[in-house]
Structure formats: C-alpha cells, structure tokens
Structure 1
Amino acid sequence: MKKAFPLFIIAAGLLLIGYGVWKVVDTNQKTAEALEEAKLAAGHPKTQKNKEKDAQKASFKPKAGEAVGVLEIPKINAELPIVEGTDADDLEKGVGHYKESYYPNENGQIVLSGHRDTVFRRTGELKKGDQLKILLPYGSFQYKIEKMKIVDKNDTSIITLQHKKEELILTTCYPFSYIGNAPKRYIIYGKRI
C-alpha cells in the first residue's frame, strides 16, 4: 500500500500536466482557426470604397462566437482574432468583444477581453503611447495607449458602456504569472487616433 501511493501521486501529476498541455494546444489551435476566420471577415479595408464600407457597417451585426475582425498590437507582433462575446468558449478562440459594448465609429466604449495566459500573454510589455489597431469588415481603426491600471477583479466600474466618446479598453487577469483565478484585472485604455 505504501509503495502504491507514490505511484498514484506521480500518475495523477502526469495526468494533470497532460491535461494542461492539451488545453494549451487546443486553445492555440482554436485561436489560429479564429484568426483565419477573422482575417477573412475583416477583408482588406484599405482597398474598399467608402460606399462599400458604409454598407458593411450598416449590416455589421455579429453573432455570438463569430470571429469578426483582428486586433493588431505592433509592439509585441501580435495579430489576434476578435470574437463576438466573452463566454469561456469565445475566449478560447481569441480576444472577446463584450457584447453590450460598441465597435469603432459608434462613439462609445469598446471593450475587448482576453486570457492573460493565451492571447494577452505579453500585454504587460505595452507602454503608454504604444499603438493598437482594429481591423473590421468596414475599416481599419488605430488607437494609442493612454494609460494602464490594475483593479480588483470585482471592480465593475471599468465597463461603463458610455456612449459619449470612442474609447478602447483591453482587459485581462492580473498578475500575469498567477496560477489559478487571478485576484486582479489589468486594464489598458486606448484613444482613437
């Protein structure tokens, strides 16, 4: 009995490690698939005529779980799919767009969330002044990081859904190296340029 217990612990540990590796590989695969879908959805905004862009904006009504565009973060060489929704399944595919928030050109708060250990793994490297770019079927939109802050995970004051000025907000869990459910959130604010 005493000899079997250490073997049981080792086997359980190997199973946990195997599950963790499988989750990382699965999430990376889903993100890669969503990125391809997002690139197709975003098309080539620079080559479209204004009338086409206006028509696409008017008909832009993404469904939950749908890859709708791309978030580019040049400083960290990131090209991330934007997926409609922030449910667990949505966040496995990429950066989730908070359903009730706005999109570019809607003059409101745009809220994008992602996991700190997948799509937003390197967001801690970003600094004030760095640029962010959103590519959607109806255009390309650039933002400059204005500030960052860390808040408690239960702080709901970040998402105001204000409709007075366009503002990009990226959210992820914090600390970045924390194992388990992180106690804080890392918030990045971007201003349209």
Structure 2
Amino acid sequence: MNRIAPALLAVAGLILFGHGAYIHAKALLAQVLLERAFTETLATGHATKPWSWADTWPVARIEIKRLDVSAIVLAGSSGQALAFGPGHVEQTADAGERGVAVYAAHRDTHFRFLKDVAIGDEIDVTRGDGRTFRYRTDGTSVVRFDATGIDPGSRGHELVLSTCWPFDAVTPGPERYLVHATMLGAD
C-alpha cells in the first residue's frame, strides 16, 4: 500500500505534465501552419485555411519589434480558434478602421508577452490584404470580462489586446488584462 500511493501520484503528475506540454506544443505548431497560411493569403489575396478541416483562417499578424514577438491572428474568438492562436473578436473593427479592433488570446501561450508590453511600445498589425497599421500603446487595465469599458462606437482608430488575468493563475477567472493602443498611421 505504501508503494501504490507514490506511484499513483507520479503517474498523475506525468499525465498533467504531458497535457501541459501538449497544449504548448499544439500552440507552437499551429503558429507555424498559420504563418504559412497567412503568407499564402498575402500572396494570393484569398483567405487560406491553415489545415483542410479548419473552421477559421488567418486574418492578421501582430508584431511588437521591441519584444521580438509576432503572432498570427485567426478570424473569430471561439474557444476552438483561441486554442491555436489569437482571435479577432467578432463585431469589432478591423485594424486600421474607425473603431476598436480587439484581439484576444490565452495568457499562457500566444499573449503571454502582454505582461512585458510597456507604455509607448509600437504594435504593428498587418491585415490579410497586406496593409500594415502601427499603433502606440497608451495604457493597460484590468477589468471584468463583462465590463471591459471598450466602446465599439469609438470614433478613433484604436486597438485592444486582451488576455486573462492574473498572468500566473492556473485556473480561469473573470478578470481580463487589456493593452490599449491608438493608431499612429499606416505603412
């Protein structure tokens, strides 16, 4: 009996570690496939699915050069889409359009870098049509998921990157960390 409990704990630990490693491996592989599909989208002008059974496709690339980070963004923000990359939140503006473009991703994979974004950082968003828009970070906030304060009718050209808060939590929670940015112009 004394040997069974440690063995069971070891097996449970291995299973949990394996599941965590699987999630991160899937996120990394997905970004490779998404990058390939986004490159094809830019070259052809037609939305390209990253794999044949995908129910979403790349719509943008987010880059922050100071942090040397880049992520391909998918159409939609369903749980299935967010498992593979950041998602463009439905019914929000596209980058470069009047209003607020909102992109969301998980804090432990694709948007883990948000904790390192500083006021003044420039964020480039390249859309599927090849146009790139530059934004400057002007603030951050922590809000409840159902009280973000984001005004979809904004007359400005704004960007919000959203992820769960706090960054080191291991369980889901109601709070979101938002990075707010204002458009500087198009390249």
What TM-score does the superposition give when structure 2 sets the normalisation length?
A: 0.85
Out of 166, 179, 188, the position equivalent to 2:170 is 179
Match of residue 130, structure 1, among 121, 127, 150: 121
Runs of 5+ consecutive residues of structure 1 not aligned to the other structure:
45-55
Bigger proportion of residues as helix: 1
Which one is further off, 88-97 or 75-84? 88-97
**1:113 touches 1:172 (CA, 8 Å); kept in 2?**
yes
Q: From the superposition, tell whether residues 167 and 26 of structure 1 become closer, same or farther in structure 2 (CA, over 3 Å).
A: same
1:160 maps to amino acid: D
Distance between the aligned counterparts of 1:15 and 1:64, measured in 2?
A: 29
RMSD (Å), alpha carbons: 2.4
- Secondary structure of the corresponding residue to residue 171 of structure 1: strand
Mark the CA change 1:110 to 1:69 in structure 2 (over 3 Å): closer, same or farther.
Answer: same
Cα separation, 2, equivalents of 1:105 and 1:187: 19
Which amino acid in 2 is paired with 1:89?
Answer: Q
Structure 1: distance between partners of 2:19 and 2:130? 40
Mapping for residues 41-80 of structure 1, pairs under 5 Å: 41-43=41-43, 65-80=56-71
Cα distance in 1, alignment partners of residues 43 and 34 from structure 2:
14
2:26 is paired with a residue whose SS is helix
State the partner residue of 1:143.
135
Sort the Cα spacing of 1:104 and 1:8 in 2 relative to 1 into closer, same or farther, 3 A. Answer: closer
Aligned residues: 178
**Alignment map for 1:1-193 (pairs within 5 Å):** 1-43=1-43, 65-136=56-127, 137-152=129-144, 154-193=145-184
TM-score normalised to structure 1 length: 0.82
User: Is the Cα contact below 8 Å between 1:132 and 1:143 reproduced in 2?
Assistant: yes
1:42–1:135 CA contact under 8 A, matched in 2: no
Separation in structure 2 between the aligned mates of residue 38 and residue 156 of structure 1, nearest angstrom: 33
d(CA) in 1 for partners of 2:177, 2:55: 24
The CA deviation at 1:5 is 2.5
Is the Cα–Cα contact under 8 Å of residues 115 and 121 in structure 1 kept in the other structure? yes
